[in-house]
Amino acid sequence: MRILALSLALAFPASTAFAIDDCLVGTWVADLDDLAHIMAVQMNATGQPVGGEVTMQIAADGTFTTLIDNLIIRVEAAGIPPMDVSVVGYNSGVMTTDDGAWVVTVPEYDLVGSADVMGQRMDIPFSSETGLFGGGLGIYGCRADSVAFESTGDTPRIPRSWTRVD
């Protein structure tokens, strides 16, 4: 038994805190206009928020959870009637920051999307590798009541604008 305990201790050393800017610690709510734009870009369309809320809780050790609560975005793409895309779910992972740069890894990702297209319900696949709220990196600016994230790459992964709610 002592050998097993020693093996586990060596394999799983005590967790260490990740580097996180103190300004980011807390609860944030996403700007839905910005979020609609990101989703529309990913779908090669235009988008407008209809309802819902997205909150992100960032802890002092860099762990975070994002909750997507009944998010509805009206999406219009060429040749397709307007549709309301619904998204629910969560993700969680780790954010690290250094000198205005951020990196996010997302080992837990469970977003479910759907839309009614011409009377037919269609599931929309999301993945942490390519989708909304997946991992990513970029730069950020943080103030007491707001934070702005800029993603590196062609398609933003998280909304740019967030407002503190705690």
- Write the pLDDT tens digit of every residue in 24-68: 999 999 999 999 988 888 788 999 999 999 999 999 999 999 999
| Structural domain range at position 65 | 22-164
- Taking only the tens place, the pLDDT of each residue in 93-150 is 999 999 999 999 999 999 999 998 778 899 988 888 877 888 889 999 999 999 999 9
Residue 37 is assigned to a structural domain of this protein: yes
The verdict on residue 4 lying in a domain is no
Q: Would 15 be classed as within a structural domain?
A: no
Assigned domain for 125 exists: yes
- The amino acid present at 164, given as its one-letter code, is R
Count CB atoms within 10 A of the CB of residue 49.
18
pTM score of the predicted model: 0.84
Q: Is residue 8 situated within a structural domain?
A: no
Backbone angles phi, psi at 78, to 5 degrees: -55, 130
> Rounded CA gap, 145 and 159, in Å?
16
Q: Give me the half-sphere count of Cα atoms (radius 13 Å) on the Cβ side of residue 128.
A: 14
Domain count of the fold of the chain:
1
Round to whole Å and give the CA distance between 160 and 158. Answer: 6
